Amino acid sequence: MKIEQIYTGCLAQGAYYIESKGEVAIIDPLREVNPYIKRAKMDDAKIKYIFETHFHADFVSGHLTLAKETKAPIIYGPNANPSFEAIIAEDGQQFKLGEITIVALHTPGHTMESTTYLLRDKDGKDHAIFSGDTLFLGDVGRPDLAQKAADMTQEQLAGTLYDSLRNKIMALSDEVIVYPAHGAGSACGKNMMKETVDTLGNQKKINYALRADMTKQEFVQEVTDGLLPPPQYFPLNVKMNKEGYDDIDVVLKRGTQALSPDAFEAAANETNAIVLDVRHQNDFAKGHVPRSIFIGLDGSFAPWVGALIADVKQPILFIAPKGREEETVTRLSRVGFDNTLGYLEGGFDAWRTASKEYDSVNSVNATVFKIMLEEEETPVFDVRKKSEYVSEHVDGAYNTPLDFLNDHLAEFPNEDIFFIHCAGGYRSMIAASVLKSRGIHNAIDIAGGFKAIKEARVSVSDYVCPSTLK
């Protein structure tokens, strides 16, 4: 028996490859499916099942393409209603895979079709659970995403999740290994651990939601407390996962068209496409196509695209480092942005060589920021999360989290300069690009973010441990 966790850091997502005696099951596959097919060929094995723990909201699964390529059936738990052919498993239904057995445990609460898959070894002993978004390490799935579909409040869903955890998961042996669908950084929970594998016994000790003496009322209150609104692209990804999408090869062919500067400019004007610049933030600051949005490939790229662009049907043209064009289209497709129309051939250098108009972002280092701040009182905007800001921030700074930047546009000065920063420089450059695209050009980015600010000994608030914050 082989169990391989295929973890994608950008999405904080875990897919799973399970093999026994030449038969393979894939759980929650990503959009691009060739790695699973190649892996099975290496093992001289055949993909027999494709298990989905639920209709994912934060990424588009590769279940349909993988089923088409391998003829393996797609399996969901009870209450699932996909628009395509699939096996809707009954609670407790067993699926043989070589010498092992996978059991569908219906665990509603995150969504009503949410299902945990229990793996029993060749001796029939419970070995591991693939818990999807029902149980994370240190947390549980948020219960507010399926309210409309389930016609239930988040409190009712949380109560259902409480019952699922107590009756189906906590009843299992402490030795059972927990393989969740997500880790730290995912918007599907509130406070997940950085680790991606643990034992159920350890989770019973440290996971706040699994306290043995916890009442349902306490659970509902704690799980729903502090939930931020989900990203706008979430329901659009659910729709794609339930109803279908183009094969990744079609998306790649359309999205990797090389366009000259003139053709790129014409396409942007004709299609009303967003120009997305995925280079490093320092390169974007030095020069970029006017009104383009920066979201760098080397950060949490796909989730930020989903959160800030939101509409998966939005046409996109992009500028990428040489050789990373296909990667860009692939990663956009993971969160449902399939309407990529091409990239700027030769990158930004070709645009500048063609004598096209370009823009830049005013950026200073933290030492210069400190001097400027001492010489003249200037507004400072911190685009980190609220919890980061409350923990420690520049004295007098405003908190305008990047996730909800569009809700704060009226707070930024229209004419006078102001400073903007995040933790390390990635998010603040995204914010600066969004502001410039909205006609706000007077921001000065602080290179290196809050880390550099502290090193420059700028006056900051007293530190508050994040673990004490609600």
CATH number at residue 39: 3.60.15.10
Is the four-CA dihedral 188, 189, 194, 196 of positive or negative sign? negative
* Phi–psi pair at 42, nearest 5 degrees: -60, -35
- What letter would DSSP give residue 403? G
464 domain-assigned = yes
319 domain-assigned = yes
Same domain, 86 and 187: yes
- What letter would DSSP give residue 137? S
C-alpha distances in angstroms, 401 versus 48, 142, 284, 384, 458? 44, 20, 21, 5, 21
- Helices marked H in 247-346: 248-255, 261-271, 281-286, 301-309, 325-334
Kindly state the helix (H) or strand (E) to which residue 257 belongs, with its residue range.
Answer: none
241 domain-assigned = no
Q: Which of 353, 378, 407 is the last residue of a domain?
A: 353
Crossing angle of helices 325-334/301-309, nearest 10°?
Answer: 60
Beta bridge partners of 27: 16, 51
Q: Which of 301, 320, 353 is the last residue of a domain?
A: 353
Same domain, 292 and 405: no
Domain holding 382, by residue range, is 362-468
Q: Which of 235, 268, 292 is the last residue of a domain?
A: 235
Rounded Cα distance, 103 and 338, in Å: 34
Locate 164 and state its tokens: 């699922």
Same domain, 329 and 369: no
Of 255, 252, 257, 258, which Cα lies nearest the Cα of 350?
Answer: 258
Locate 47 and state its tokens: 């993909």
111 domain-assigned = yes
228 domain-assigned = yes
Rounded Cα distance, 153 and 107, in Å: 17
Could you tell me the maximum CA-CA distance found in the chain, to the nearest angstrom? Answer: 74
Rounded Cα distance, 194 and 191, in Å: 10
Task: Report how many helices (DSSP H) and strands (DSSP E) the chain contains, helices first.
Answer: 17, 22
pLDDT of residue 226: 85
* Phi–psi pair at 23, nearest 5 degrees: -115, 140
pLDDT of residue 185: 86
Same domain, 342 and 203: no
Locate 427 and state its tokens: 């998010």
pLDDT of residue 191: 81
Same domain, 226 and 262: no
Q: How many CA atoms lie within 13 A of 280 on its CB side?
A: 7
Measured from the Cβ of residue 398, the count of other Cβ atoms closer than 10 Å reads 17
Rounded Cα distance, 198 and 325, in Å: 36
Segments in the chain below pLDDT 50: none
Same domain, 404 and 434: yes
Same domain, 336 and 419: no
The burial class, CB within 10 Å (0-12 / 13-18 / 19+), for 301 is buried
Rounded Cα distance, 460 and 433, in Å: 26
CATH number at residue 267: 3.40.250.10
pLDDT of residue 325: 98
SS3 70: helix
Q: How many domains does the structure of the chain reveal?
A: 3
- What letter would DSSP give residue 421? E
Same domain, 231 and 250: no
Rounded Cα distance, 63 and 328, in Å: 21
Same domain, 374 and 432: yes
Buried b (16+ CB within 10 A) or exposed e, 274-296: bbbbbbbbebbbeebbeebbbbb
240 domain-assigned = no
Same domain, 329 and 460: no
Asked whether 279 and 296 are in contact (CB, 8 A), the reply is yes
Rounded Cα distance, 46 and 40, in Å: 6
Rounded Cα distance, 329 and 249, in Å: 10
Same domain, 209 and 317: no
418 domain-assigned = yes
419 domain-assigned = yes
Same domain, 286 and 194: no
Asked whether 76 and 82 are in contact (CB, 8 A), the reply is yes
Q: In what order do the strands lie in the sheet with 100-106?
A: 94-97, 100-106, 115-120, 126-132, 177-180, 198-199
